[in-house]
């Protein structure tokens, strides 16, 4: 019996960030009401009778806390009606600094949310404005204090580096200020310029450029060293935690385990199939109201695809991919399946293999995509 996690997507934002390519829409109260009704219909279709007991729940976006207090309470009640919520289970909400007033913080706490992922990005008001954020640095302090005061202590801060015109010194200041909070978890990602974003349009017109690759690499190395000096363990390429505070939900993805995906544009992964939901909001709402299955595409996932993804995802973790776990899941030895990729990547110094795991080297982390593509198998 498999026990999936649950990802729930709330696509509304008060402001669209210049770099974001997730499914998102400007917040509108009426649209949000319709969306929550449709979301409930979709969840009913997958969990019609008894409550499910998920491994983890993650509510992301968009910005879930862009909902008003009444809508947020409705969302929490919908989730509570479909899932058994326990204090032992990781239950995460994404939030933007400035969104969390006292009423919303109390609601989250009262309904059993026990982890908050706060989208800080940088500790620099001018740069926040340049990337399309509406919060200020002071809002981070206000919201963290508000969360801690009610007992929501499992907080993660998200940071971005390699932003346009960002210097190594500016990023160091952001990391130093973030670490002053002494929180249990930090995530930090380099900027990716994705299609259908403001930054992409500027990039195409030659009006935007990222820092040079050597500066981006120096930012990543600085990040790693600062986190280590502060007692945080890098358990995944972009994630750092005090022992015991690793994101259990994200480990679901990196361990190639099953999860529901609810909401517009959400992806789900259930035995033998990957499900991708309709992305446009009117189409999602219409189909969910009709039959609870607002599916854009459902693709079969065979053993070949599972083994490939086991490597792509698992190699993101610092511990790498377990040889024994691979054999238990797929009934074959890893070095038999990837007999070409493993020796040549090892020879190039991009991976290391011991008696229990295969993992990226420091060099391999910097060239992760180059490593991952070597684990694409031939069709036969």
Using one digit for the tens of pLDDT, what is the confidence trace for 143-172? 999 999 999 999 999 999 999 989 999 999
Tell me: do 169 and 309 sit in the same domain: no
State the pLDDT at residue 256: 96
Exposed / middle / buried, residue 272 (Cβ in 10 Å: 0-12, 13-18, 19+): exposed
CATH number at residue 367: 1.10.10.920
Residue 54 lies in a domain: yes
C-alpha–C-alpha distance, residues 18 and 200, integer Å: 9
State the pLDDT at residue 380: 66
Tell me: do 249 and 311 sit in the same domain: no
Beta bridge partners of 352: 359
Q: How confident is the model at residue 71 (pLDDT cuts 50, 70, 90)?
A: very high
Using one digit for the tens of pLDDT, what is the confidence trace for 2-29? 689 999 999 998 776 766 666 668 889 9
End residue of a domain, out of 237, 254, 271: 254
Residue 288 lies in a domain: no
Residue 351 lies in a domain: yes
Tell me: do 246 and 315 sit in the same domain: no
Using one digit for the tens of pLDDT, what is the confidence trace for 212-271? 999 999 999 999 999 999 999 999 999 999 999 999 999 999 999 999 999 999 999 999
Domains of the chain: total: 2
End residue of a domain, out of 197, 231, 254: 254
Tell me: do 146 and 79 sit in the same domain: yes
Residue 172 lies in a domain: yes
Tell me: do 365 and 228 sit in the same domain: no
Residue 42 has pLDDT above 70, yes or no: yes
The three-class DSSP label of residue 345 is helix
End residue of a domain, out of 194, 229, 254: 254
In terms of Cα–Cα distance, which of 87, 88, 55, 91 is closest to 75? 91
Q: pTM here?
A: 0.94
Residue 339 lies in a domain: yes
Residue 296 lies in a domain: no
Tell me: do 319 and 201 sit in the same domain: no
Residue 265 lies in a domain: no
The three-class DSSP label of residue 312 is helix
Exposed / middle / buried, residue 22 (Cβ in 10 Å: 0-12, 13-18, 19+): middle
Using one digit for the tens of pLDDT, what is the confidence trace for 322-369? 999 999 999 999 999 999 999 999 999 999 999 999 999 999 988 888
Domain that includes residue 117, residue range = 5-254
Tell me: do 246 and 97 sit in the same domain: yes
Residue 250 lies in a domain: yes
Tell me: do 93 and 218 sit in the same domain: yes
CATH number at residue 31: 3.20.20.70
């Amino acid at each position: 019996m498999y026990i999936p996690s649950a990802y729930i997507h709330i696509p509304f934002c008060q402001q669209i960030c210049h770099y974001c390519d997730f499914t998102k829409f400007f917040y509108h109260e009426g649209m949000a009401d319709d969306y929550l009704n449709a979301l409930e219909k979709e969840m009913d279709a997958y969990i019609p009778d008894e409550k499910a007991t998920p491994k983890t729940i993650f509510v992301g976006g968009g910005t879930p806390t862009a909902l008003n207090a009444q809508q947020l309470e409705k969302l929490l009640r919908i989730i509570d009606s479909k899932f058994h919520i326990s204090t032992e289970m990781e239950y995460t909400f994404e939030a933007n600094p400035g969104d969390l007033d006292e009423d919303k913080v109390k609601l989250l706490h009262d309904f059993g949310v026990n982890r908050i992922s706060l989208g800080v990005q940088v500790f620099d008001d001018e740069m926040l404005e340049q990337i399309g954020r509406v919060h200020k640095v002071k809002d981070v302090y206000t919201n963290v204090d508000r969360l801690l005061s009610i007992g929501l202590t499992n907080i993660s801060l998200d940071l971005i580096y390699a932003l346009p015109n960002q210097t190594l010194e500016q990023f160091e200041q952001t990391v130093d200020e973030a670490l002053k909070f002494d929180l249990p978890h930090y995530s930090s990602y380099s900027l990716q310029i994705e299609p259908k974003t403001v930054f992409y349009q500027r990039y195409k017109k030659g009006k935007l450029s990222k820092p040079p690759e050597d500066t981006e690499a120096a930012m990543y190395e600085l990040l790693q060293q600062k986190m280590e000096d502060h007692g945080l363990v890098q358990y995944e390429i972009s994630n750092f935690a005090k022992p015991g505070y690793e994101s259990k939900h994200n480990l679901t993805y990196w361990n190639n385990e099953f999860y529901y995906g609810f909401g517009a544009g959400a992806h789900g992964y259930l035995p033998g199939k990957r499900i991708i939901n309709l992305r446009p909001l009117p189409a999602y709402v219409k189909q969910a109201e009709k039959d609870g299955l607002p599916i854009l595409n459902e693709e079969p996932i065979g053993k070949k695809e599972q083994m490939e993804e086991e490597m792509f995802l698992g190699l993101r973790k610092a511990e790498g991919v377990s040889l024994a776990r691979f054999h238990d899941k797929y009934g074959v030895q890893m070095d038999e399946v990837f007999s070409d990729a493993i020796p040549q990547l090892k020879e190039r110094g991009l991976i290391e293999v011991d008696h229990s795991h295969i993992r990226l080297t420091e060099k391999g982390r910097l060239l992760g995509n180059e490593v991952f593509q070597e684990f694409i198998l031939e069709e036969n």
